[in-house]
């Protein structure tokens, strides 16, 4: 299906624009206004949490990895790693062993498994 490129539009005052020059000027003004907004000066300030969350930053155990794999829902889309849940659940023990090694290596190098970048 081919789109019509010279469809008439109205300017902000309601005048119908039909010529190519008027349309080009209207679109140029629209994008100039849209893309040239002043910077925000009142940034949202998020206060620190009143209490620390109980989050472990230690390498997960094989039991924790196995439990997480078991909790994956089959038929869902793969995540950023492009591995579908069914692939991990196909052999939970093998997947657990491989992920355990991955987490161990990324922990020793202080690298994020997601990005492969150093974590401070």
Structural domain includes residue 92? yes
Structural domain includes residue 13? no
Structural domain includes residue 87? yes
Contact at 8 Å (CB) between 6 and 23? yes
Measured on CA atoms in the order 89, 91, 97, 101, is the torsion positive or negative?
negative
Contact at 8 Å (CB) between 57 and 63? no
- Domain that includes residue 94, residue range: 62-108
Structural domain includes residue 69? yes
> Can you tell me which residue has the tokens 């991955």?
102
- 69 vs 50, residue with greater confidence: 69
Mapping DSSP onto H, E and C, the string for 92-120 reads HHHHHHHHHHHHHHHHHCCECCCCCCECC
In this prediction, residue 1 carries a pLDDT of: 42
- pTM of the entire structure? 0.48
- Closest to 96 in 3D by CA, of 120, 69, 58, 56: 69
Structural domain includes residue 97? yes
pLDDT mean over 47-51:
84
The answer, yes or no, to whether residue 47 has pLDDT greater than 60, is yes
Structural domain includes residue 73? yes
Number of structural domains (the chain) is 1
Lowest mean pLDDT among 4-13, 29-38, 84-93: 4-13
């Amino acid at each position: 299906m081919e789109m019509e490129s010279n469809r008439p539009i109205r300017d902000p005052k309601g005048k119908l624009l039909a010529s190519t020059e008027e349309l080009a000027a209207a679109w140029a003004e629209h994008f100039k206004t849209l893309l040239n907004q002043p910077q925000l000066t009142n940034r949202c300030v998020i206060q620190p949490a009143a209490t620390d969350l109980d989050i472990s930053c230690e390498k997960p155990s094989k039991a924790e990895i196995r439990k997480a794999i078991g909790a994956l829902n089959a038929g869902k889309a793969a995540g950023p790693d492009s591995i579908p849940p069914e692939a991990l659940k196909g052999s939970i023990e093998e997947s657990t062993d491989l992920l355990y090694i991955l987490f161990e290596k990324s922990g020793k190098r202080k690298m994020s498994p997601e990005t492969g970048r150093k974590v401070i």
